[in-house]
């Protein structure tokens, strides 16, 4: 992929529109996790070393085109100022106050942060007038928000399209993501194991079929495992099953057989009588789940079996939890798999919000080769698609 990077641009004295992913968890104006802010710092510093005329833009949450101060980026600006030791000038209404004029008046120790892009309906609609407003007076465009690269929005595609291709580039994090996920698609060292969890087969079918062309092992966990087990004729009790998606599971098995990929399914389970956080866990030491119980986690024998496959792998990609890991009684399987991935001596990549959260909870994120910031974007990239937010950054 011939990507235009920061090294391809001359920033000296230029005005820069910098699209970041600052979509951090906020509660009552307090940032609960500043990981995404900290991950953006290297790109910000690279640009600031060459020009101080930087306007940072991001979305936060889903305010649906309306001003909702619960989703204001102002607390993010405060945290940015702390991390950068610079004054962050917060531009609240850049539709009536052209921010390019603010850029021209900045002191050397200042930079600009625009209010939540999604306060304007033109952002998600990629509205031309909104794009023109954002691009007004801008010399260079940089996108470091890989997590939104699969969205053809104003700030990810429209603004870039208004500038010549040689004035656009990917940030350091975007470049890192593309290299890491590209290695999974193009140069995975065998044995290559894909661990796929989550709720629905239908949500993951495209990426599974893509990775079946490359992997040696496919490990299945989460609620989708019960659809696979049901297809194979095993009793799953009252577990959640996509009964109308058995054709997708058949397609996966057929493709796996044709490519000699081994599919691994749970052989024991952590169950409960109801889908409730305070439900009492009941461990079932066999593959069949009795009537009246639903699977909510993989069991210890499954963890051991999956762990053996992971340990012997040279490349691992993990997306999706092994159960309802948000609930303490059913988190063990996911935590154990996170630790197994971290202990693998091969190249390990974790993608998807829940998997990343699990790796952080298990305290092993720093032992994984690459932790992707993109959930849906990472999966669409691994489907083999050229994402719109990346396409505009190619030479």
CA 341, CA 384: separation in Å to the nearest integer?
24
Q: What are phi and psi of 48, to 5 degrees?
A: -65, -25
Q: What are the structure tokens assigned to 71, written together?
A: 């989703």
| 19 flagged as catalytic | no
| 200 flagged as catalytic | yes
Which is nearest to 373 in space by CA: 23, 18, 126? 23
- Its sign, for the CA torsion 308, 309, 310, 312, is positive
DSSP track, 78-113: HHHHHHHTSEEEEES-TTTS-HHHHHHT--TTEEEE
Phi-psi group of 248: left, alpha or beta (phi > 0 → left; psi -120 to 50 → alpha; rest → beta): alpha
Q: What are the structure tokens assigned to 157, written together?
A: 């595609």
Is-contact 218 196, C-beta < 8 A? yes
CA 268, CA 278: separation in Å to the nearest integer?
21
Q: Which DSSP state fits 318?
A: E
Partners of 295 in beta bridges: 271
Q: What angle do CA 190, 191, 193 make, to 5 degrees?
A: 120
- Its sign, for the CA torsion 377, 358, 294, 231, is positive
Length in residues, the chain: 395
Query: Among 4, 15, 19, 36, which one carries the catalytic annotation?
Result: 36
CA 156, CA 130: separation in Å to the nearest integer?
12
| 36 flagged as catalytic | yes
SS3 content of the chain, % helix, strand, coil (to 5): 40, 15, 40
Query: Among 65, 79, 376, 391, which one carries the catalytic annotation?
Result: 376
Query: Among 14, 50, 132, 200, which one carries the catalytic annotation?
Result: 200
Which of the residues are catalytic? 36, 200, 353, 376
């Amino acid at each position: 992929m011939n990507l235009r990077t920061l090294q391809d641009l001359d920033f000296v004295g230029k005005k820069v529109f910098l699209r970041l992913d600052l979509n951090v968890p906020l509660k009552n104006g307090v940032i609960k996790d500043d990981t995404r802010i900290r991950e953006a710092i290297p790109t910000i510093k690279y640009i600031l070393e060459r020009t101080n005329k930087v306007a940072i833009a991001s979305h936060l949450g889903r305010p649906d085109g309306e001003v909702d101060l619960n989703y204001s980026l102002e607390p993010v600006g405060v945290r940015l100022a702390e991390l950068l030791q610079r004054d962050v000038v917060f531009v609240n209404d850049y539709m009536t106050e052209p921010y390019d004029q603010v850029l021209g008046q900045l002191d050397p120790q200042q930079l600009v942060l625009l209010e939540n892009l999604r306060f304007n309906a033109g952002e998600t609609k990629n509205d031309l007038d909104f794009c023109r407003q954002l691009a007004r007076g801008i010399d260079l465009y940089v996108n470091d928000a890989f997590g939104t690269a699969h969205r053809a929005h104003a700030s990810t595609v429209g603004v870039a399209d208004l500038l010549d291709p040689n004035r656009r580039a990917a940030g350091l994090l975007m470049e890192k993501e593309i290299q890491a996920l590209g290695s999974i698609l193009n140069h995975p060292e065998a044995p290559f194991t894909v661990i796929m969890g989550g709720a629905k087969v239908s949500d993951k079918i495209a990426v599974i079929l893509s990775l079946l062309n490359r992997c040696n092992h496919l490990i299945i966990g989460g609620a989708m495992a019960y659809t696979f087990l049901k297809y194979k004729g095993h009793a799953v009790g009252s577990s959640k099953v996509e009964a109308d998606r058995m054709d997708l599971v058949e397609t996966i098995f057929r493709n796996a057989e044709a490519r000699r990929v081994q599919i691994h399914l749970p052989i024991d389970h952590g169950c409960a009588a109801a889908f409730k956080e305070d439900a009492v866990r009941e461990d079932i030491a066999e593959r069949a789940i009795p009537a009246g119980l639903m699977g909510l986690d993989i069991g210890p024998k499954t963890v051991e079996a999956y762990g053996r496959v992971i340990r012997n792998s040279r490349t691992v990609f993990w997306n999706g939890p092994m159960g309802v890991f948000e609930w303490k009684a059913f988190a063990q399987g996911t935590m154990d798999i996170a630790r197994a991935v971290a202990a693998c001596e091969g190249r390990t990549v974790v993608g998807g919000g829940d998997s990343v959260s699990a790796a952080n909870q298990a305290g092993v994120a720093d032992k994984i080769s690459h932790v992707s910031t993109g959930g849906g974007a990472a999966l669409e990239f691994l489907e083999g698609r050229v994402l719109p937010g990346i396409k505009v950054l190619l030479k």
